[in-house]
Structure 1
Amino acid sequence: MSKKDATPTSSTPTPAIAMVQDAGVAHRVHEYVLDDQLDQGTSLGAAAAKVLGVDPGQMYKTLVAFVEGRPCCALVPVNAHLKLKTLAAAAGGKKASMATGAEATRLTGYVVGGISPFGQRRQLPVFVDSSVLDWSTLYLPAGKRGLTLEVAPQVLEGLLHATVVSGLADT
């Protein structure tokens, strides 16, 4: 496994990176490469956190779900699980279900493993676990596997109008 901290090697930024740049938000882009073989049972997010030397609680994954048929995104630490009932309540519904990988890709324009809350094809409402407030910066998918954006948690509320939800993640 190797790590690279810089501007991505491709000359064209992902829509996520372009959105953050266009907004003038302070950020850093981290590029990383995972070995072909991940440890069995290790998620992509946990492996990326290890490669980047980041606490897994500081690295967030973007999950796409449906609440009463309406799509939304939930951000939880890579070492946690999304509490669907809590998401449903936060989004004003009674029941939530996870989107399939194909649905998530269709809705956001990103492939699973790189789904960013920024620069989505159709900007979905974003709900984020309150643990984001424990960190000065967060690591979020940047729209492509192998790319992560480091931003302040306040960017989520300011740029995405994200709703901070207590207990959204189950660690």
Structure 2
Amino acid sequence: MTPAVKTLKNSGLAYRLHEYIHDPRAASFGPEAAEKLGVEPSRVFKTLVLCSAAGEYSAWMLPVDRHLDLKEAARISGEKKMELSDPKEAERITGYIVGGISPLGQKKRLPLFIDSRALEHKTILFSGGKRGLQIEMAPSDFIKISSAAASGNFS
């Protein structure tokens, strides 16, 4: 059981786990999850770790079929500049491997922003803390447990 699943198990909130066999040759983790689970990519959210010019880290969730607008992320977070963190640094900070970084149960709780498109769906899916594991839950419940800021569209 991953830290993300433990967090949910203790929360009392409704969620579903979806497992699939991850293909190590897959070019991109999020689209692979959507395809293998038969879910529209707009409902599957990836978690990216960003670093500000001041060296502060934050996590950003957006649909796997979208690309993060770093300038918009900087504007939303009140930073001058944001960039994707080094993958090894993201793994060290979150305690998860790239392709399995969950927004829940991270080693260091990062400020979390979620694209407001999540609110358009009855449920969304996101990493359960390892490749091949997705968590499905209502976006409002996710925001409640994660304290994520639904901050406009940044993709």
Sort the TM-score into its range (normalised by shorter chain): over 0.9
Residue 94 of structure 2 corresponds to residue 108 of structure 1 = yes
Structure-1 separation of matches of 2:38 and 2:17: 14
- Structure with more relative contact order (C-alpha pairs < 8 Å, separation 6 or more): 2
Paired residues, number:
154
Structure-1 separation of matches of 2:136 and 2:82: 29
Higher strand share: 1
Describe the superposition over 1:37-57 as per-residue Cα deviations: whole angstroms up to 9, x where unpaired: 43xxx4111011001000000
Structure-2 separation of matches of 1:106 and 1:61: 18
- Give RMSD over aligned pairs: 1.1
Residue 43 of structure 2 corresponds to residue 55 of structure 1 = no
Of the candidates 139, 144, 150, which is equivalent to residue 158 of structure 1?
A: 144
Cross-structure match for 1:10? none
Note the C-alpha offset of 1:131: 0.6
Cross-structure match for 1:23? 11
Between Structure 1 and Structure 2, whose CA radius of gyration is higher?
1
Note the C-alpha offset of 1:92: 1.5
Calculate percent identity across the aligned residue pairs: 41
Cross-structure match for 1:8? none
Runs of 4+ deviating beyond 6 Å: none
Flag structure 2 segments of 5+ consecutive residues without an equivalent.
Answer: none
TM-score where L is the length of structure 1: 0.86
Higher helix share: 2
Structure-1 separation of matches of 2:74 and 2:24: 36
Structure-2 separation of matches of 1:104 and 1:62: 10
